[in-house]
Structure 1
């Protein structure tokens, strides 16, 4: 493992950690993470993972070939980290910065790092109907990391004039996401939009019953009360945050994706407990980190 300290400036103890792979998405993530770390007085730790690199002296022609190849990999990785550090410095000149070349599996390394991070940050680059940055690692990390993971997405990740949007599923499991959303809105001086969709089903039919024929007005009244209850305690803790509540009957994915077009940050929970309560904690958060138009913060229950 190679670690290089870039600045001696004082910072908060828990750093913001960003994983990179050299893609355009990871560079956007580095810039976003650097600005956020500087704004919050925290250190930034840039991590790149590579397969274990042998340091022993080669004893055969084959060993020499493998050794040379692995040294090339090391040099390329160190150059990637240096380039990322330069991007971070350009985005936030005063940020405290370290770079780390780690050996081993990327997902496990980043999941372990998240246990001690203020935030874990990854980047996503839109491709033809998919995402690129750390490959399937991105979904593995967002599903299994500790604390909060931010996937930097969208055409303008640095947008600062929109609201913070949080998806509220109504369960106690989603409480950490609400708390994180209030914190982010307060730090950013932004409005908080709390979106609660009663059902994660799409509009249409279910069990042979047309949704428009169902007494959705009754549901709306009950869900409005539930949402107000979930937000009340947090509003007392963050009186500076202006909150707007939105109740939807259908489609949290579509509603939140639409909201992400003008939001500066979208906050969701990490996993559900089955049934309607938990609709935002699992498949919906996985979908949003692949399709949202702004950075997505996935908050885990721990």
Structure 2
């Protein structure tokens, strides 16, 4: 990233809802920083070196590139609606998404993509959140504190009947765990935008899905709940194999945090 005062905030789009959320965040961030916004869509077809063009490219108004052009135009419109008066440009760039965004980084004020941290309310989770916020401050990025939860699980016959808990109360309890994990960090790092979200679902799937639009995934190495039963656990193994971005695993006291590249993304 560059310190050039005229450099743009760059955001990658692919038409998905997470990408649209990243687009809106990027537009808001660019407006707040008085920067232009550059919308980029990575068009991978030319890099496949296939001698046969897809049948969908037969019509003058059809084809994959025409769809990509429509996608970028819609993203530019949405960014302008999100932040009226914002200077927005859009471009299709041939290449794989990660490579395209990395190529944009040296001349960008900020390549939009949150630092996502898995949260479960444990002390180690708190350390992971702090590490994520520190990294975000260095990268000029926002932080998403993400908590995955599931319905209460029976531990024996007859100990729980269906629908005996209130969904709204369960959600409120989960939200409180996330809020406690980020308490005080907004004041210490006012330059970092921190948002929190609780999502019902399996931790591995929730975090892997979130990694599609993240520049870094941060998780604790051990602890309470699905998110931080990690380093040799099923969640960490899944992330290391399937994350779409690098993964940082924050260990316990006197153990350094480690960062590894994401897996194949499959």
TM (norm. structure 1) is 0.43
Q: Please give the TM-score of this superposition, normalised by the length of structure 2.
A: 0.48
Larger Rg: 1
Higher relative contact order (CA 8 A, sep 6+): 1
